[in-house]
C-alpha cells in the first residue's frame, strides 16, 4: 500500500476484508442470553476465545518493537469529539502515539475534532476522509453517538483503502454491512454494575437519586440505565428525576441546579460523563451544597480525580484510561506484521472505582497505572 514495505499492509488489509466479506454473516461466534432483544452484539459474542486476554496482556507488558521496515510514516486520521471537556480522547491520543514510538513505528496523524453533540460535523469529516482514502492507512473513529453515526462507520469500514478502528464503543451493530477492523472501549455496562455494587455497599438501600443523563443511545442506556436498574432492583432506590444534559458541562450545571431547587430529597446525583460531572460540581459549589449531595462522575479522568481530591466529587467508575490508545497502537502493529487475525474484534480496558475514602497514595497508584502514557494530573486544554 502507501507507506509500508514488503506489501505487509496491503496483505493485512486484504485478509481483514476477506474476513468480513458479507458484512456480519460470520457473526456471532456464540449466542449469549438476550441476543434476540438487542440490535448489537456484546463482546463475548464476537471475540474468539483468548484473543481479548492476549491483547490485554500485550498492552500491559513492555513494548516489543515492530519487526518490519518502513519507507515512510503511516498516515492516521482521527475523527473524534476531542473538543469536549472529557480528556478521554486526548489521553488516548497520547497513549496511541507514545506506544507507537515505543514500538518503533513511524507515523503522522491528522485530527478532525468536534464536540459530542456535533453529529453533522462528524459526518462531514467522515465523508472527507472516505473521499481521500488514498491519503490514509488507518482511520480511528470516535462516534458522537453510535446509532447516529452507524452509516458513517459502515461507509468507512467498507473502504479497503485503510483499516478502520472505532473508539469508545464496544457493541458492534448487527445491521452493519461492513464491520470495522476492531472496536476499542471500556464496557459501560460492566462499569455501571461495578459502580452499582460500590454505591449499594457505601450508601445502602432506600436512597433517593436524580440523574444527569447524556444523549439517548447505547452509551447512556448502559452508563445511566443499567446503573439505575441495578440500584433500584438490588437496593430499592428511587429515581426522582432524570435530566438529559447531552454530555455537556452546561447540561450538568443546569440539571443539577434544577435538581437542587425542585427535587431537594435527592441524596445522590449520578452524572454520565466527565463534562456533566464538572458542571454538576460547579452548580453545587455555587449553591453551597457540595457537601450535602453524593456526586458521581464517569471514567476517572484527571479532572474527576482532582475533584475527588478537593472533596467536590465523591466517586467515579475509573477506566485504566490509556489501555485504549495503547491497544490501538498494538493493533496497528499487528496489521503491519500481517497478524490482524490475532486481534479480538472488541478490545475492553479495565474499570475500578475511585472514591473520596481512598488515601492519596491509593488514588495516586490508580492514576499512575491508568495514565502510564498520557501522564497524571489534569491535561492542559
3-state SS track over 250-261: HHHHHHHHHHHH
- In the block, which residue shows the cell 431537594? 264
- Domains identified in the chain and CATH numbers: 5-186+321-350 (3.40.50.2300), 189-318 (3.40.50.2300)
Task: Name the pTM for this structure.
Answer: 0.74
| pLDDT in the model for residue 60 | 86
| pLDDT in the model for residue 381 | 54
Q: Report d(CA 147, CA 55) in Å as an integer.
A: 27
Per-residue pLDDT of the chain (381 residues; tens, 9 = 90+): 555 544 444 434 434 433 443 333 489 999 999 999 999 999 999 999 999 999 999 998 999 999 999 999 999 999 998 877 668 899 999 999 999 999 999 999 999 999 888 999 999 999 999 999 999 999 999 999 999 999 999 999 999 999 999 999 999 999 999 999 999 999 998 899 999 999 999 999 999 999 999 999 888 999 999 999 999 999 999 999 999 999 999 999 999 999 999 999 999 999 999 999 999 999 999 999 999 999 999 989 889 999 999 999 999 999 888 999 999 999 999 999 999 999 999 999 989 999 999 999 999 999 998 889 998 766 765
| pLDDT in the model for residue 192 | 96
Length of the chain: 381
Alpha-carbon distance values, 236 to 153, 296, 375 (Å): 39, 19, 40
Contact indicator for 210, 240 with CB cutoff of 8 Å:
yes
Cα three-residue angle 297-300-302, rounded to 5 degrees? 110
Q: Report d(CA 191, CA 225) in Å as an integer.
A: 12
- Whole-angstrom Cα Rg for the chain: 21
Burial of 34 (0-12, 13-18, 19+ CB in 10 A): exposed
Amino acid at each position: 500500500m502507501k507507506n509500508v514495505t514488503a506489501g505487509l499492509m496491503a496483505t493485512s488489509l486484504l485478509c481483514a476484508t476477506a474476513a468480513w466479506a458479507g458484512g456480519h454473516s460470520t457473526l456471532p461466534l456464540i449466542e449469549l442470553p438476550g441476543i434476540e432483544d438487542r440490535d448489537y452484539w456484546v463482546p463475548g459474542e464476537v471475540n474468539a476465545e483468548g484473543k481479548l486476554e492476549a491483547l490485554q496482556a500485550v498492552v500491559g507488558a513492555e513494548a516489543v518493537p515492530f519487526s518490519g521496515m518502513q519507507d515512510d510514516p503511516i498516515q492516521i486520521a482521527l475523527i473524534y469529539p476531542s473538543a469536549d471537556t472529557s480528556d478521554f480522547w486526548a489521553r488516548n491520543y497520547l497513549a496511541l502515539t507514545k506506544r507507537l514510538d515505543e514500538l518503533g513505528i513511524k507515523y503522522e496523524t491528522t485530527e478532525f475534532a468536534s464536540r459530542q453533540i456535533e453529529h453533522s460535523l462528524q459526518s462531514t469529516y467522515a465523508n472527507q476522509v472516505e473521499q481521500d482514502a488514498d491519503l490514509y492507512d488507518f482511520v480511528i473513529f470516535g462516534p458522537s453517538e453510535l446509532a447516529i453515526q452507524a452509516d458513517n462507520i459502515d461507509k468507512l469500514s467498507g473502504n479497503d483503502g485503510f483499516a478502520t478502528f472505532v473508539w469508545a464503543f464496544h457493541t458492534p451493530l448487527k445491521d452493519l454491512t461492513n464491520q470495522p477492523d476492531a472496536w476499542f472501549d471500556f464496557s459501560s455496562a460492566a462499569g455501571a454494575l461495578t459502580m452499582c455494587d460500590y454505591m449499594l455497599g457505601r450508601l445502602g438501600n432506600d436512597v433517593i437519586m436524580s440523574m444527569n443523563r447524556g444523549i439517548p443511545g447505547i452509551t447512556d442506556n448502559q452508563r445511566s440505565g443499567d446503573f439505575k436498574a441495578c440500584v433500584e432492583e438490588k437496593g430499592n432506590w428511587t429515581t426522582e428525576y432524570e435530566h438529559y444534559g447531552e454530555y455537556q458541562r452546561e447540561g450538568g450545571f443546569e440539571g443539577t441546579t434544577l435538581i437542587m431547587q425542585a427535587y431537594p430529597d435527592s441524596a445522590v446525583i449520578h452524572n454520565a460523563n466527565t463534562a456533566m460531572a464538572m458542571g454538576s460540581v460547579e452548580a453545587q459549589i455555587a449553591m453551597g451544597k457540595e457537601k450535602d449531595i453524593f456526586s458521581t462522575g464517569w471514567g476517572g479522568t484527571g479532572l474527576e480525580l482532582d475533584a475527588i481530591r478537593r472533596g467536590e466529587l465523591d466517586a467515579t467508575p475509573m477506566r485504566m484510561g490509556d489501555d485504549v490508545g495503547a491497544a490501538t497502537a498494538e493493533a496497528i502493529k499487528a496489521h503491519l506484521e500481517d497478524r490482524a487475525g490475532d486481534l479480538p474484534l472488541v478490545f475492553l480496558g479495565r474499570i475500578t472505582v475511585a472514591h473520596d475514602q481512598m488515601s492519596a497514595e491509593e488514588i495516586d497508584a490508580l492514576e499512575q497505572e491508568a495514565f502510564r502514557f498520557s501522564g497524571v494530573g489534569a491535561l492542559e486544554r
